[in-house]
């Protein structure tokens, strides 16, 4: 049997582009908020595309047909769930309260096949290391856990401390892996001379010494130089 690598390359490239365009059309939330149904459909799509790639009788039209049908079905389901609210629980699933007023809801945990070890793992991912801190915990339809701590364990806010509101500024990366990101400099109305002056003030001579630099309005420039495993600076050639 003769293997046509050129045809396989074209089909693989087309399949990649088709899947990429499909995920872009479906939107970011469909990727980040994956449900059990989405997971199963993604596996099915991968199997169909994979079989099409290695089937002598299948080519670009067949791959396009498979990806197109899958995309249409997923997009249609998204429209249905947005238009008909009652279908959301069936297709996307619904959240389940597993801790209510500080108490474990055993029947809900059993229904969701969630044991205490799995619950503790999910809590640790939320920086909660003891059940005593939890007032409510909700198992979301995508398998993540949302946690509301008891008031004694909640972090006080500026409002709780009667402090005046403070301006919030997003940080911007100016240097990445020893290279200046000029677009970000321009966006923040900063110059390369200003950046080099900031480096000099903090004891650095060359931009290549800096692995990462982050700028936040009103704060000193945050710098991370290159370091080796022994926590010594790398020599810059």
Q: Final residue of a domain: which of 89, 109, 136?
A: 89
Q: How confident is the model at residue 133 (pLDDT cuts 50, 70, 90)?
A: very high
Q: How confident is the model at residue 83 (pLDDT cuts 50, 70, 90)?
A: confident
Query: Average pLDDT for residues 88-112, to the nearest whole number?
Result: 83
Q: Is residue 149 part of a domain?
A: yes
Tell me, what's the pLDDT at 52?
63
pLDDT top residue among 27 and 77: 77
Over 90: is that where the pLDDT of 196 sits?
yes
Evaluate whether 109 touches 123 at the Cβ level (below 8 Å). no
What CATH number does the domain containing 137 carry?
3.30.240.20
Q: Which of 127, 144, 145, 7 is nearest to 136 (CA)?
A: 145
Supply the mean pLDDT for the chain.
78
- Residue 102: domain span: 96-153
- Maximum separation of any 2 CA atoms in the chain, in Å: 77
Q: Which of 19, 12, 24 is nearest to 50 (CA)?
A: 12
Tell me, what's the pLDDT at 235?
46
Q: Is residue 234 part of a domain?
A: no
Tell me, what's the pLDDT at 94?
76
Q: Is residue 69 part of a domain?
A: yes
Q: Is residue 219 part of a domain?
A: yes
Do residue 141 and residue 183 come from a single domain?
no
d(CA 12, CA 146): 39
Q: Is residue 77 part of a domain?
A: yes
Q: Is residue 39 part of a domain?
A: yes
Tell me, what's the pLDDT at 25?
62
- Residue 118 tokens, joined: 């799995």
Tell me, what's the pLDDT at 30?
46
Tell me, what's the pLDDT at 214?
94
d(CA 58, CA 56): 6
Query: Average pLDDT for residues 175-182, to the nearest whole number?
Result: 89
Query: Average pLDDT for residues 72-92, to the nearest whole number?
Result: 72
Do residue 69 and residue 9 come from a single domain?
yes
Do residue 9 and residue 85 come from a single domain?
yes
Q: What is the pTM of this model?
A: 0.56
Give me the number of domains the chain comprises.
Answer: 3
Tell me, what's the pLDDT at 228?
54
Q: How confident is the model at residue 190 (pLDDT cuts 50, 70, 90)?
A: very high
Least confident of 21-30, 34-43, 183-192, 206-215: 21-30
Query: Average pLDDT for residues 109-118, to the nearest whole number?
Result: 88
Over 60: is that where the pLDDT of 234 sits?
no
Taking residue 144's Cβ as centre, other Cβ atoms within 10 Å add up to 13
Do residue 84 and residue 148 come from a single domain?
no
In DSSP terms, which residues pair with 138 in a beta bridge?
Answer: 97, 146
């Amino acid at each position: 049997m003769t293997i046509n690598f050129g045809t396989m390359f074209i089909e693989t490239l087309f399949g990649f582009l088709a899947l990429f365009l499909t995920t872009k059309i479906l939107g970011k939330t469909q990727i980040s908020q994956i449900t059990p149904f989405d997971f199963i459909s993604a596996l099915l799509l991968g199997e169909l595309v994979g079989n099409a790639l290695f089937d002598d009788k299948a080519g670009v039209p067949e791959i396009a047909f498979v990806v197109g049908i899958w995309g249409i079905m997923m997009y249609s389901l998204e429209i249905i769930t947005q238009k008909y609210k009652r279908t959301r629980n069936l297709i996307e699933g619904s959240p389940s309260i597993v801790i209510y007023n500080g108490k474990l809801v055993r029947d809900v945990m059993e229904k969701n096949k969630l044991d205490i070890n799995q619950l503790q793992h999910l809590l640790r991912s939320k920086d909660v290391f003891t059940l005593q801190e939890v007032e409510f915990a909700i198992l979301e339809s995508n398998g993540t856990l949302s946690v509301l701590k008891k008031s004694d364990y909640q972090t006080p806010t500026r409002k709780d401390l009667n402090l005046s509101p403070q301006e919030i500024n997003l940080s911007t990366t100016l240097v990445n892996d020893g290279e200046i990101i000029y677009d970000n400099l321009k966006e923040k109305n900063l110059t390369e001379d200003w950046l080099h002056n900031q480096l000099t003030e903090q004891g650095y001579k060359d931009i290549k010494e800096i692995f990462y630099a982050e700028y936040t309005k009103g704060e000193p420039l945050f710098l991370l130089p290159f370091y080796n495993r022994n926590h010594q600076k790398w020599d810059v050639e």
